[in-house]
């Protein structure tokens, strides 16, 4: 039986996110960029301005750089390119994917880093790709089956931050995956790299039997900045690196 594919634009998983005491949650949307943010204060106004600026820089660069948006292979960005494009291009080159494979993770980090001075606790989630600064322990849910809900989470200690967790899936959401995996989540200090690496690893999955290949490839990426990976396909799970899993209530 074919695996159910979830393409709804309604991000129902956000409804289960609970801000800690002294934190607020808000949404910032500009065209395709849809951020869900947890921070110590409502930064939606200035964050909206920043996202508009970043998107404008990237769109202008893509107009002048044929193939940057469409390519499934690395496309270089010169030193004169805006930071968002350079980060995307650098990460894509490391794992041999197209630059757009790194766009969500890059945006999440640039936004989180920009506002960290105003909110030492800030979590920016961009379509399942997250960048976090935190002064307290956190648990992040791993959603491999939207119909069944999240049953596993990843525990993160205060000493772990800042970090990124980026996901790729062939069955959840509209993003392009060349594989058949239900979920691949990569942990890294770099949002751009985590996003690109998640795509590259998810592309390797045709069946659950491919998880050993995914974990072996993840280990090879460790010197590039990959700190951990979680993969789910065909009823099987694979985990490697700094990934402390916990069971979620309910």
List pLDDT tens digits, range 99-120. Answer: 999 999 999 999 999 999 999 9
CB atoms within 10 A of CB 207: 12
Angle CA(245)–CA(12)–CA(145) in degrees, nearest 5? 45
- Return the CATH number at 174: 3.10.520.10
Q: Could you tell me if residue 123 is inside a domain?
A: yes
Phi-psi region of 15 (alpha: psi -120 to 50; beta: other; left: phi over 0): alpha
Q: What's the Cα-to-Cα distance from 124 to each of 7, 17, 26, 233, rounded to whole Å?
A: 21, 12, 10, 27
Of 230, 209, 229, 212, nearest to 221 by C-alpha is 229
Task: Extract the tokens encoding 83.
Answer: 């930071």
DSSP class of residue 174 equals S
User: Within its chain, how far is the Cα of 10 from the centroid?
Assistant: 17
pTM: 0.89
pLDDT given at position 2: 40
DSSP class of residue 8 equals -
Q: Could you tell me if residue 101 is inside a domain?
A: yes
Residues 94, 74: Cα–Cα separation, whole Å: 9
Of 192, 229, 222, 205, nearest to 100 by C-alpha is 192
Asked, as a colleague might, if the bond just before 162 is cis with ω within 30 of 0, I would say yes
Residues 111, 60: Cα–Cα separation, whole Å: 19
Number of domains in the chain: 1
pLDDT tens digits, residue range 131-164?
A: 999 999 999 998 766 555 668 899 999 999 999 9
Identify whether the C-beta of residue 207 lies closer than 8 Å to the C-beta of residue 180: yes
CB atoms within 10 A of CB 32: 10
pLDDT given at position 148: 55
pLDDT given at position 150: 67
Regions in the chain scoring below 50 on pLDDT: 1-10, 173-174, 176-179
pLDDT given at position 7: 34
Asked, as a colleague might, if the bond just before 135 is cis with ω within 30 of 0, I would say no
Identify whether the C-beta of residue 243 lies closer than 8 Å to the C-beta of residue 229: yes
Burial of 17 (C-beta count, 10 Å sphere; 0-12/13-18/19+): middle
Instruction: Tell me the residue range of the domain where 118 lies.
Output: 18-247
The 3-state secondary structure of 190-215, one letter per residue:
CHHHHHHHHHHHHCCCCCHHHHHHHH
Q: Could you tell me if residue 204 is inside a domain?
A: yes
Q: Could you tell me if residue 2 is inside a domain?
A: no
């Amino acid at each position: 039986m074919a695996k159910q594919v979830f393409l709804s634009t309604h991000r129902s998983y956000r409804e289960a996110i609970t801000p800690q005491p002294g934190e607020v949650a808000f949404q910032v949307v500009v065209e395709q960029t849809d951020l869900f943010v947890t921070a110590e204060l409502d930064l939606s106004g200035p964050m909206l301005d920043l996202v508009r600026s970043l998107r404008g820089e990237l769109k202008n660069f893509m107009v002048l750089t044929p193939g940057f948006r469409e390519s499934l292979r690395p496309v270089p960005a010169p030193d004169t390119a805006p930071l968002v494009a350079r980060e995307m291009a650098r990460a894509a080159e490391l794992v041999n994917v197209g630059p757009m494979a790194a766009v969500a993770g890059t945006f999440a980090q640039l936004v989180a880093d920009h506002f960290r001075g105003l909110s030492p606790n800030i979590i920016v989630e961009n379509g399942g790709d997250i960048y976090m600064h935190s002064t307290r322990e956190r648990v992040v849910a791993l959603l491999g089956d939207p119909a069944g809900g999240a049953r596993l989470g990843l525990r993160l200690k205060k000493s772990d931050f800042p970090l990124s967790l980026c996901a790729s899936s062939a069955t959840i959401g509209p993003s392009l995956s060349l594989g058949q995996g239900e979920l691949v989540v990569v942990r890294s200090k770099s949002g751009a790299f985590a996003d690109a690496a998640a795509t590259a690893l998810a592309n390797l999955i045709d069946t659950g039997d491919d998880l050993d290949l995914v974990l072996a490839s993840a280990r090879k990426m460790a010197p590039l900045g990959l700190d951990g990976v979680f993969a789910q396909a065909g009823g099987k799970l694979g985990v490697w690196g700094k990934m402390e899993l916990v069971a979620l209530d309910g």
